[in-house]
C-alpha cells in the first residue's frame, strides 16, 4: 500500500520538517475548488513523509515517538495550533490505510507524489478526481510511472465527499470490514461527522451483523446495509441514548413516546433508511372499542406501513396479539394499491424469544418483530453475549448466524 522511499541523494533532499511545512503552506494558500479535499490530501502527504522518514534506516526504539513530538512542537510554534502528536499519528495511519486514487510505481520525491494534485510554484493544484478533464492523459501517466484507477470508488480509497474529520473518525474503527461499512453508509446517507461518530459508538455494524451469516457480513462490508426483506429493516437492540432518559422502573410508555417525538430526527436515523413518520396515537375503532397505535411510519423502500408499539417492561403474548390486531386492520382497511402488507414492531425492555416464536408462528414472524431498546450505548461484549444467547435459543452454532 505504501510507496517506496524516494532514492534521492541526501544533499538534494529537503529536511523532513521543511517538506511538511511546504505541504502545509501549499494547502493554506491553494486556490483549489475544494478546501476539504486539499486538507485531506495535505494530511495524506504528511503521513507519507513521516512514514518515509521512519523507514529510511532510522527507525529504532523511541525514534518514531521522538520524531512526532519534535514535529508537533515545531509545527505548533511556526504554523498553527492543533498539530499534536495525536494528529500526526492520524496522518501517518491515514497514509497507511488509504491509498490515493492512483498507484505510484516510480517515486520521485514530492513531484512524484502529486500525480493528480501537483505542486506548482509552491501551491497545491487540486484536481483530485481521475475523471477530471485536467487529469493527466494515459500516455503521460504511463510516462511518469503512474497507473490510473478506472474502477468505481470502493471502500478504502479516498472520496472527495468525506472530510478529514470523517476520515479521522473512521481511523478509530479497527476492523476493516466495519470501517468499510461505515464509509459506505456515511456517503450513502450523507452523515455528518457527528452522526458518523454516533453510529460507530452505538456499534451499528455489530448490531446489524448479529443477524447475518458470513455472506451477509461480506455484503455489509462491501455494499453497506441492503434492504430487500422486512428482516433487513429492524435492529435488535434499538439504541436510544439520544433521549437522555434514565433506566428506571418508573418510566411509562407515554413518557417514552413523548421523548421519541421530541427527538424524531434522531429516532429516524436510528431506525435506518426508508422510514417516514406518519402519525402518533393513531386511533382504530372496532364496534365502539377504541385502540391506539403508538407510532405509525411508512417505509419507502419496502412500500408498506410500519406500526410501532412501545412497551415498558417484558414483552408478553398479549402484547404480540394486540400488535397483530393492528397489522391485520391496516392490511384490510388502510392498505392501498401498490402497498405491501403492513409490518409491526414492538420495542420493549426485555423479551422471551421462545414466547415470540410460539405466539407468532413462522409466517407471522416475517411480518411482526420484537426488538429490545436500550437507553444507553451497548458495549461490544454485551452484543456478543446477546448473540450467544440467541444462538443457544435457536440451537444454531455461531458459524451459521441467525438468518440465512
Question: 3-state class of 319 per DSSP?
Answer: helix
**Long-range CB pairs of 242-247, under 8 A, 24+ apart, other chains included:** 242/198, 242/266, 242/267, 242/270, 243/375, 245/375, 246/375, 247/375, 247/376
DSSP for 75-122, written as a single string: HHHHT-TT--HHHHHHHHHHHHH---SEEESS-BHHHHH-SSSEEETT
Instruction: Supply the pLDDT for residue 71.
Output: 87
Average pLDDT over residues 248-275: 90
Q: Is the pLDDT of residue 200 over 70?
A: yes
226, 242, 267 - which closes a domain: 226
Q: Which residues have CB under 8 Å from 51's CB, separation 6+?
A: 2, 92, 95, 96
Q: Is residue 114 part of a domain?
A: yes
Categorize the per-residue pLDDT at 173 as very low, low, confident or very high, splitting at 50, 70 and 90: very high
Q: Is residue 88 part of a domain?
A: yes
Question: 3-state class of 336 per DSSP?
Answer: coil
- Averaged confidence pLDDT in the chain: 77
Are 238 and 179 members of one domain?
no
Average pLDDT over residues 2-29: 66
User: For the sheet containing 304-314, what is the strand order?
Assistant: 238-239, 368-374, 343-350, 304-314, 289-299, 275-286
105, 131, 148 - which closes a domain: 148
Q: Which residue has the higher pLDDT, 383 or 190?
A: 190
C-alpha distances out from residue 66 to 53, 60, 75, Å: 12, 11, 14
C-alpha cell, 221: 462490508
Q: Is residue 340 part of a domain?
A: yes
Are 267 and 324 members of one domain?
yes
Q: Which residues have CB under 8 Å from 223's CB, separation 6+?
A: 184
First to last CA, the chain: 35
**115 in Cβ contact with 137 (< 8 Å):** no
Q: Is residue 156 part of a domain?
A: no
Are 68 and 84 members of one domain?
yes
Q: For residue 319, what is the domain's CATH number? A: 3.40.1350.10
Instruction: Supply the pLDDT for residue 394.
Output: 52
Categorize the per-residue pLDDT at 266 as very low, low, confident or very high, splitting at 50, 70 and 90: very high
Instruction: Supply the pLDDT for residue 382.
Output: 81
Residue 310 CA to residue 256 CA, distance in Å, equals 8
- Which residues is 277 bridged to in the sheet? 297
In which domain, by residue range, is 36 found? Answer: 10-148
Instruction: Supply the pLDDT for residue 30.
Output: 54
Q: Is the pLDDT of residue 1 over 80?
A: no
Are 201 and 275 members of one domain?
no
For the stretch 97-106, pLDDT in tens is 887 644 343 3
Are 213 and 302 members of one domain?
no
Q: Which residue has the higher pLDDT, 329 or 117?
A: 329
Are 40 and 180 members of one domain?
no
Categorize the per-residue pLDDT at 60 as very low, low, confident or very high, splitting at 50, 70 and 90: low
Categorize the per-residue pLDDT at 63 as very low, low, confident or very high, splitting at 50, 70 and 90: low
Are 201 and 269 members of one domain?
no
Number of domains in the chain: 3
Q: Which residue has the higher pLDDT, 248 or 359?
A: 359
Are 100 and 142 members of one domain?
yes
Q: Which residues have CB under 8 Å from 401's CB, separation 6+?
A: 211, 212, 213, 214, 216
Q: Is the pLDDT of residue 310 over 70?
A: yes
Are 244 and 365 members of one domain?
yes
Q: Is the pLDDT of residue 195 over 50?
A: yes
**270 in Cβ contact with 203 (< 8 Å):** no
Question: 3-state class of 354 per DSSP?
Answer: helix
Are 89 and 117 members of one domain?
yes
**292 in Cβ contact with 328 (< 8 Å):** no
Region of poorest pLDDT, from 113-127, 146-160, 177-191, 197-211: 113-127
Q: What's the pTM?
A: 0.70
Instruction: Supply the pLDDT for residue 35.
Output: 66
Are 114 and 205 members of one domain?
no
Give the whole-number percent of the chain exceeding pLDDT 90: 31
Task: Centre a 10 Å sphere on the Cβ of residue 121 and count the other Cβ atoms it contains.
Answer: 7
Region of poorest pLDDT, from 67-76, 145-154, 319-328: 145-154
Residue 378 CA to residue 207 CA, distance in Å, equals 10
Are 16 and 120 members of one domain?
yes
Q: Is residue 1 part of a domain?
A: no
Instruction: Supply the pLDDT for residue 18.
Output: 84
Average pLDDT over residues 134-139: 38
Instruction: Supply the pLDDT for residue 139.
Output: 43
Question: 3-state class of 309 per DSSP?
Answer: strand
Q: Is residue 163 part of a domain?
A: no
Q: Is residue 165 part of a domain?
A: no
Task: Centre a 10 Å sphere on the Cβ of residue 227 and count the other Cβ atoms it contains.
Answer: 14
Instruction: Supply the pLDDT for residue 34.
Output: 58
Task: Centre a 10 Å sphere on the Cβ of residue 351 and count the other Cβ atoms it contains.
Answer: 19
97, 113, 148 - which closes a domain: 148
Q: Is the pLDDT of residue 205 over 80?
A: yes
Q: Is residue 160 part of a domain?
A: no
Amino acid at each position: 500500500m505504501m510507496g517506496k522511499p524516494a532514492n534521492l541523494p541526501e544533499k538534494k533532499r529537503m529536511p523532513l520538517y521543511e517538506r511538511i511545512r511546504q505541504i502545509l503552506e501549499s494547502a493554506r494558500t491553494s486556490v483549489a475548488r475544494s478546501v476539504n479535499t486539499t486538507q485531506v490530501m495535505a494530511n495524506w502527504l504528511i503521513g507519507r513523509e513521516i512514514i518515509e522518514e521512519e523507514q529510511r534506516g532510522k527507525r529504532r526504539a523511541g525514534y518514531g515517538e521522538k520524531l512526532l513530538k519534535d514535529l508537533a512542537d515545531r509545527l505548533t510554534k511556526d504554523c498553527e495550533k492543533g498539530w499534536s502528536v495525536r494528529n500526526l499519528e492520524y496522518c501517518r495511519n491515514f497514509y497507511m490505510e488509504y491509498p490515493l486514487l492512483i498507484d505510484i510505481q516510480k517515486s520521485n520525491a514530492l513531484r512524484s507524489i502529486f500525480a493528480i494534485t501537483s505542486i506548482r510554484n509552491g501551491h497545491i493544484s487540486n484536481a483530485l478526481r481521475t475523471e477530471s478533464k485536467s487529469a493527466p492523459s494515459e500516455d503521460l501517466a504511463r510516462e511518469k510511472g503512474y497507473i490510473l484507477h478506472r474502477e468505481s470508488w470502493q471502500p478504502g480509497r479516498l472520496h472527495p465527499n468525506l472530510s478529514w474529520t470523517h476520515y479521522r473518525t473512521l481511523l478509530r474503527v479497527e476492523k476493516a470490514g466495519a470501517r468499510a461499512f461505515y464509509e459506505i453508509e456515511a456517503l450513502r446517507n450523507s452523515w455528518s461527522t457527528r452522526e458518523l461518530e454516533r453510529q460507530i459508538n452505538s456499534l451499528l455494524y455489530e448490531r446489524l451483523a448479529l443477524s447475518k451469516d458470513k455472506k451477509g457480513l461480506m455484503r455489509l462490508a462491501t455494499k453497506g446495509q441492503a434492504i430487500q426483506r422486512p428482516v433487513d429493516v429492524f435492529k435488535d437492540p434499538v439504541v436510544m441514548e439520544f433521549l437522555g432518559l434514565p433506566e428506571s422502573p418508573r418510566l411509562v410508555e407515554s413518557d417514552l413516546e413523548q421523548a421519541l417525538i421530541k427527538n424524531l430526527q434522531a429516532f429516524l436515523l436510528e431506525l435506518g433508511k426508508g422510514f417516514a413518520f406518519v402519525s402518533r396515537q393513531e386511533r382504530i375503532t372496532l364496534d365502539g372499542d377504541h385502540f391506539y397505535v403508538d407510532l405509525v411510519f411508512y417505509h419507502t423502500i419496502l412500500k408498506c406501513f410500519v406500526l410501532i408499539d412501545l412497551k415498558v417492561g417484558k414483552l408478553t403474548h398479549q402484547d404480540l396479539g394486540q400488535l397483530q390486531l393492528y397489522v391485520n386492520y391496516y392490511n384490510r382497511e388502510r392498505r392501498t394499491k401498490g402497498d405491501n402488507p403492513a409490518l409491526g414492531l414492538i420495542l420493549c425492555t426485555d423479551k422471551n424469544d421462545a414466547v415470540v416464536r410460539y405466539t407468532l408462528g413462522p409466517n407471522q414472524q416475517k411480518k411482526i418483530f420484537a426488538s429490545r431498546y436500550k437507553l444507553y450505548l451497548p458495549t461490544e461484549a454485551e452484543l456478543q453475549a446477546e448473540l450467544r444467547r440467541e444462538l443457544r435459543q435457536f440451537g444454531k452454532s455461531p458459524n451459521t448466524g441467525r438468518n440465512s
